[in-house]
Structure 1
Amino acid sequence: MVALAYTNIFTADIDRLAEFYSALFGFTEIVESRSPIFRGFTTGSASLGFSGPGAFDLLGLTPQEGPGDRVMQTFNVENKDEVDAYSTKAVELGASIVKEPFETYYGWYQSVLRDPDGNCFRVNYPGAPA
């Protein structure tokens, strides 16, 4: 089985965005991976990284131009009350609500937000295990 190890968000200000997600969810920084162009955090089964503009050259990538959502992070929580609480806290830390917490057609309870950079993310309770 393949497992997701890292998901990274490119940002012009890695310190600001790393602090936002760390303050919101209480993630622990992987200090050994810190560099002028990267911050990484443990989040459970996968890690979350923040890559600065210098990472494009390092990875042989070109920044994408133009509007549109290309990636969305989903953070699972343990119950509906946590969806509400984390959504409120996210706004207090500088996020904006795209869609208030709601029940999905597939039985999840989630909110859709934008972080301070405008990246879309969800706070999600996938329901009780079957």
Structure 2
Amino acid sequence: MTVQRSEQNTELVNFREKRAESQQVEDKYLNVLEHAKNVAKTNDVMVARLGYREVATHYGCAYKNDGYRVMEEMAERVPGVTYKESRTLCVDDAMGVGGHHIEITFAHPDLAGWMRAHEANAGGNGGR
């Protein structure tokens, strides 16, 4: 019976670690979204477009190409974020990397609520 409890405790610890990891990922999404909000405000638009380098930088990726993975994940998990193929040729396209970006639509009805909820879970770091 002691072995079963030990296994159960291990599962609980793993669950907590996964939750902490999930929260850390959501915090990083918030960093990207805050940067996008600043871009939108600077350009006086409601839609911000970010390439993989900007996403990788503000997410804190170890490798810049990880920005593509993050862009796809954000599009799947965060309302108002879409992963799109870029239509214009840029330097990154010519080098064989690039051609995709995310668009963050700040007028999306669920995005502001998602951000508030996750900022609250992060301990009220909304004023970053």
Q: TM-score, normalised by structure 1?
A: 0.29
Q: TM-score, normalised by structure 2?
A: 0.29
Q: When you count helix as a share of all residues, which structure comes out higher?
A: 2
Q: When you count strand as a share of all residues, which structure comes out higher?
A: 1
